[in-house]
């Protein structure tokens, strides 16, 4: 696949076109002919590069991964204020979600349609959750967070809280200000973990 330079170019054009069309019309309503028209090539060509509509969707999501893989909760460096870290992390999440809002919607849509993709989506969420759980563990080790909390479940709940707020705002279209979202979720996250804001 895509061994020649021309092939690679065509494939890239198709992925870009697919993203445009998917974002505009949704996965279900998008037709292959719309995508190939957008990419200025024929349907036949599509099938030299992808086996199905699902496959090009996967390629679109993969190409968008980098930007969508926001920092989550970064490693807590010695001396850094944990609450500030959480805030930065949350803001990064909301910003990235907003930039990729249509794609995030698509992710949810396809997850409800395609079983394979549902599993992938679940795994992607859990990867993220595990990273956050590690952060929480570290805070527990540092004595900053109640040791009774199960890091994994806690991470799942708190990440889910933020993810749902972003979904409601950017996918479902509830008009909320990002600053408010960041403030509320950070404060609740900190409270839930029992963290105090950095003392002066």
What does the binding site for DNA look like in residue numbers (CB under 7 A)? Answer: 1-4, 6-11, 29-33, 41-49, 51-53
Cβ nearer to a second copy, comparing 67 with 150: 150
147: partner contacted, choices a second copy, DNA, none (Cβ within 5-8 A by kind): none
Reported as half-sphere exposure (CB side, CA atoms, 13 A), residue 60 has a value of: 27
How far out from the chain centre does Cα 67 lie?
Answer: 9
Considering only residues 126 to 145 of the shown chain, the ones binding a second copy according to CB under 8 A are 126
Question: Measured between alpha carbons, how far is 32 from 53 in angstroms, rounded to an integer?
Answer: 7
Question: Measured between alpha carbons, how far is 56 from 50 in angstroms, rounded to an integer?
Answer: 6
Question: Measured between alpha carbons, how far is 86 from 89 in angstroms, rounded to an integer?
Answer: 5
Considering only residues 10 to 49 of the shown chain, the ones binding a second copy according to CB under 8 A are 26, 28
Question: Measured between alpha carbons, how far is 83 from 192 in angstroms, rounded to an integer?
Answer: 12
Cβ nearer to DNA, comparing 8 with 84: 8
- C-beta of 182: minimal distance to a second copy in Å? 11
Closest to 159 measured CA to CA, from 82, 73, 100: 73
Cβ nearer to a second copy, comparing 66 with 159: 159
Cβ count near 16 (within 10 Å): 15
165 binds a second copy (CB under 8 A): yes
102 binds a second copy (CB under 8 A): no
**The one among 79, 173, 199, 200 contacting a second copy by CB under 8 A:** 173
**The one among 30, 94, 156, 170 contacting a second copy by CB under 8 A:** 156
Closest to 80 measured CA to CA, from 139, 121, 120, 154: 139
- C-beta of 52: minimal distance to DNA in Å? 4
Cβ nearer to DNA, comparing 53 with 156: 53
Cβ nearer to DNA, comparing 22 with 128: 22
153 binds a second copy (CB under 8 A): yes
Question: Measured between alpha carbons, how far is 155 from 189 in angstroms, rounded to an integer?
Answer: 10
């Amino acid at each position: 696949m895509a061994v020649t330079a021309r092939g690679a170019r065509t494939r890239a054009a198709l992925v870009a076109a697919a993203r445009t069309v998917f974002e505009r019309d949704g996965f279900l309503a998008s037709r292959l002919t719309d995508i190939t028209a957008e990419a200025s090539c024929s349907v036949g060509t599509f099938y030299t590069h992808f086996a199905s509509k699902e496959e090009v969707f996967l390629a679109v999501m993969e190409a968008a991964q980098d930007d969508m893989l926001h920092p989550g909760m970064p490693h807590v460096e010695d001396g850094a204020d944990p609450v500030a870290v959480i805030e930065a992390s949350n803001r990064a999440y909301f910003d990235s979600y907003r930039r990729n809002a249509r794609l995030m919607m698509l992710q949810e849509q396809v997850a409800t349609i395609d079983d394979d993709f549902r599993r992938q989506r679940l795994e992607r969420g859990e990867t993220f959750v595990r990273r956050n759980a590690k952060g929480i563990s570290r805070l527990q080790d540092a004595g900053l967070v109640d040791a009774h909390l199960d890091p994994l479940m806690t991470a799942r709940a708190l990440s889910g809280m933020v993810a749902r707020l972003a979904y409601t705002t950017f996918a479902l279209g509830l008009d909320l200000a990002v600053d408010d979202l960041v403030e509320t979720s950070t404060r609740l996250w900190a409270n839930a973990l029992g963290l105090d804001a950095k003392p002066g």
